[in-house]
Amino acid sequence: MPAPFRLYNTLSRRVEDFTPIQPGHIGLYVCGMTVYDLCHAGHARAMVTFDTFVRYLRHRDWSVKFVRNFTDVDDKIIRRAAELGIEPLELAQQQIDYFHEDVRALGLDEPDEEPRVSTSIGGIIAMVERLIERGHAYAADGNVWYDVRSFPNYGALSGQKVDELRNPDVGNGKRVPSDFALWKATKPGEPSWKSPWGNGRPGWHIECSAMASRCLGDSFDIHGGGLDLVFPHHENEIAQSEGASGCGYARWWMHNGLLTMPGGRKMGKSEGNAFSIRDLLQLFPAEAVRLYYLQNHYRSPLPWDQNALPTALAMVCRLYEAREVAESMKGQERAEDVAKSLGDDAQAVLDLSRAFDTQFYAALDDDFNTSKALSYVFELARAVNRFANHKKARKRGGPLVAEALRCFSVVNDALGLLGDDVSKFMQEVKEKRLGAMGIEREDIESLLEERLVARQARDWARADSIRDELEAKNIVVMDTAAGVDWRVRITGA
């Protein structure tokens, strides 16, 4: 049996016990990218949030059908394609390919379906026809408009008042300012399809209604997206879908908070303040980016901060260090006996590991509180790192930390962190941070070589000055039994 959980519902504005339509199964639709430019850190917050949510649900034995669409027909795509002198659908395809590369690099799983507007036109036209039949829409001069006043429940999600609405859609035949376009008559240079109302293309909102019902049915469990989509997009989806089917649409509405830039502005290409995911992944491993999002509650606004990613990276490194040191511990005794004889730090590891599942799951089952769940992970990692200082830890700590290692594998399965081999991860950290700091690996190695020669010649002053020189570049030199090693100090933490 899958584990029960609670989830905030934007529709009721409360955290509620989640109940699926079909026991054990969850249908989830998430609004995806409008593909006219690269995925940036603002989009990635939604992508990581829902990817991790699905990952967690599956970890808890839910069967999930996860659908995330591409908006490949849109004003922004048409404008950008015209600037570039290519066809809009060609630009969209190129951006979809980039998006797939980016989310793979980010370590996200593929959704079960990724419908696109351009291949969903038949379903969209059928839904518009049904809305006209049922008295929720009217055709005029090649356009079709949704009659907002025909849907008494309009505004239930967003709290908007119909009388005060001015929908920005323009075109012929619109009766009142609140009505919005379901179908737009063709204009020169735009992609268009044949329809009962003449050649044209869908309005923005109808696509998600049509794709969600095709992939998940008229009624399904959870609809997700960024908070900026609540109005008008999701409000209009409800009006369209319920207007067409006569039954309820999504039961839960789950919205992630937005990444905000100084001055409270949204991150966006049009704002000129976007960091693309591919740029960030040049500088940081994917798990640092993932942790950066997950350490904040998904519903909170997330103010962008220069130090946030270095801090997140330093935190992931500490988790890996804890796992590495735990993996290196040996021993044959019972965990309880080790704890008893090695003192409080040892006992703390055992106690925290044994309480871990209950606390970790309780946090995630209460409105997917990843930030609280991670606080238990860090507490455990700190305890392991503290225990590792005990002089007998390496020799006898193995049985004691076995349970902590099991907890770390739960974290990987549930949240997608700590999924790498430690040395591979640390290697990636070195490469990316050296690149970020503009330092060549060969320069470090030749300085270390020079330091070795100085040490052999007992020129301690020279050896120390090389160490200081590297230190100033945030390269920490470590003399170990096995020889000289070095690591990059993660700055900004």
Instruction: Return residues touching Zn ion (CB under 5 A).
Output: 31, 208
Query: By 3-state DSSP, what share of the chain in percent is helix, strand and coil, each rounded to 5?
Result: 50, 15, 30
Say how far residue 250 (Cα) sits from the centre of its chain. 21
Between strands 137-140 and 143-146, the pairing is antiparallel
Whichever of 31 and 148 has its CB closer to Zn ion, that residue is 31
DSSP 111: P
375 Rama class: left (phi>0) / alpha (psi -120 to 50) / beta: alpha
**Bridge partners, residue 67, by sequence:** 29, 113
**Widest Cα–Cα separation across the chain:** 92
The least CB distance from residue 32 to Zn ion, in Å, is 8
The least CB distance from residue 33 to Zn ion, in Å, is 10
The least CB distance from residue 30 to Zn ion, in Å, is 8
Q: CB within 8 A of 358, min separation 6: which ones?
A: none
The least CB distance from residue 235 to Zn ion, in Å, is 11
Whichever of 208 and 312 has its CB closer to Zn ion, that residue is 208
Whichever of 103 and 308 has its CB closer to Zn ion, that residue is 103
DSSP 232: I
Residue 333: what are its φ and ψ, rounded to 5°? Answer: -80, 175
Query: Euclidean distance between the first and final Cα of the chain, in Å?
Result: 41
Whichever of 2 and 225 has its CB closer to Zn ion, that residue is 225
Q: How many CB atoms are closer than 10 A to CB 200?
A: 23
Tokens of 212: 């969600």
442 Rama class: left (phi>0) / alpha (psi -120 to 50) / beta: alpha
Number of DSSP helices (H) and strands (E) in the chain, helices first: 17, 15
Whichever of 77 and 208 has its CB closer to Zn ion, that residue is 208
Whichever of 107 and 232 has its CB closer to Zn ion, that residue is 232
The least CB distance from residue 490 to Zn ion, in Å, is 37
- Is the Cβ–Cβ distance between 331 and 393 less than 8 Å? no
The least CB distance from residue 209 to Zn ion, in Å, is 9
Whichever of 9 and 34 has its CB closer to Zn ion, that residue is 34
Q: If we measure between CA atoms, which residue out of 371, 366, 360, 374 comes closest to residue 297?
A: 371
The least CB distance from residue 213 to Zn ion, in Å, is 13
Whichever of 28 and 31 has its CB closer to Zn ion, that residue is 31
- What whole-number distance in Å separates Cα of residue 404 and Cα of residue 348? 11
The least CB distance from residue 173 to Zn ion, in Å, is 25
The least CB distance from residue 208 to Zn ion, in Å, is 3
Whichever of 31 and 81 has its CB closer to Zn ion, that residue is 31
